[in-house]
Structure 1
Amino acid sequence: MLLAGGVLAASLTACDSARPIASETSSADSVPTSPTVEESDVSFNREVTQGNFRFTVKTYGSQDQRVASIRSYRGAAQTTDPIRTDISGAVTDVATGDLNGNGKPELYVMTDNKKANGGLYVFEFGERGYTPVTLPGTPAGSAGIGYSGQDTYRIQGNKLVRTFPVASSTDAAGTAGATTAGSTTAGGTRSVEYTLDANGRFVMGPVTNGQ
């Protein structure tokens, strides 16, 4: 019996040693493991806060496709495993907000991706997890006439403001709003405001045309 007990104890010890050990790590401790990246290849690194939430955002690589690593903390505790995702373009800004006032902060990652409906990644964070937020898509109705991408975004109060160049009325009429990038400067710019509803969906609001 003593021999059997010793064998069982050794077996349990071996199993325990093979288990991954959870630990709290800072944003500088490690890099994404899937896909593989080089720690020295950091192309963006910033920390932002929203209330007692704190987020660190890093990207790796210098090509159009990059790897983003996002860590979220509430106080000193990490609220979820690091997010590792592919993004298109270089990050131009990172912002936080709670646009629908539900106590769950959103993280907004903006890039210089010029493709239609590109250039934005949004995540909503809770106590122990996160949810990707569906992006607005092509502006509805007349706001979408002359739209071909090249969006920029900013948080203004409790709204997301999206600005993009639009085609001249002649170009827009000739192509039903589906103009190509590079021909969308003659008509000035257009800004569209969005609120975030209780279900985490963007709702289109006022539209402003500029020069």
Structure 2
Amino acid sequence: MMMIKVITCKVSEERKEDFFEEQKIWKALSPLNGFLGQVGGWSDQDPSTACIFAFWENEEAYQYFMDNVHDEILLHSNQSSTYKSIDVSLYEESFTVPGSEKKITHVLEKAKYVRVARALVKPGHADHFIDMQKTIWNPGMSAAEGFLGGSFAISKKRVRDFLVFTCWGNERFHQIVEKHFPALVKETKMQTDVQEIMGEEVVLEEAWRVLPFNNGG
């Protein structure tokens, strides 16, 4: 199953330019087997937060990268000195959120805007939460103009922790569909399922986009 790595870094205003430049070192991911793409940008809600999203074909490919490549890339970087704190979470895809693009590599290539929801679901409510994503949220997103695609995933470490990752052609498309969110929330009775939810909306930085060398097809 596909793995999704979510990285958030708190960066002081005076170090944002340094962080921006250092983030470009991850272009080194392109030739790695099983690497599907990486995108990122600054949070709309908190401009001092950098959000990075990396995609791997499976856990084996991701683990090979962590064991053999990750530290080598960091060795040639000063990025760790540019942020105040870092949070890293790993998720495994459960199913896709279908959009106009069928391959995740093409979704990540064309996306300009990302919306992410990380939900901690109440005990005993996971099945209903998942069913609502499949039967209400997925069709609602799939029908939206400018929606490229996304992923519904489950945390590898934290129980009942779910990720909904969605990509859009630009912020305008997302703003149009956002008007329908309250109706969808009401229909899915989200408040009865969710204990805690955190969202990020991110305008992607082109300089941080990393695509696999074999991104054709």
TM normalised by structure 2 equals 0.28
Which structure is richer in relative contact order (CA contacts within 8 A, separation 6 or more)? 2
Instruction: Return the structure number with greater strand share.
Output: 1
Larger radius of gyration: 1
TM normalised by structure 1 equals 0.28
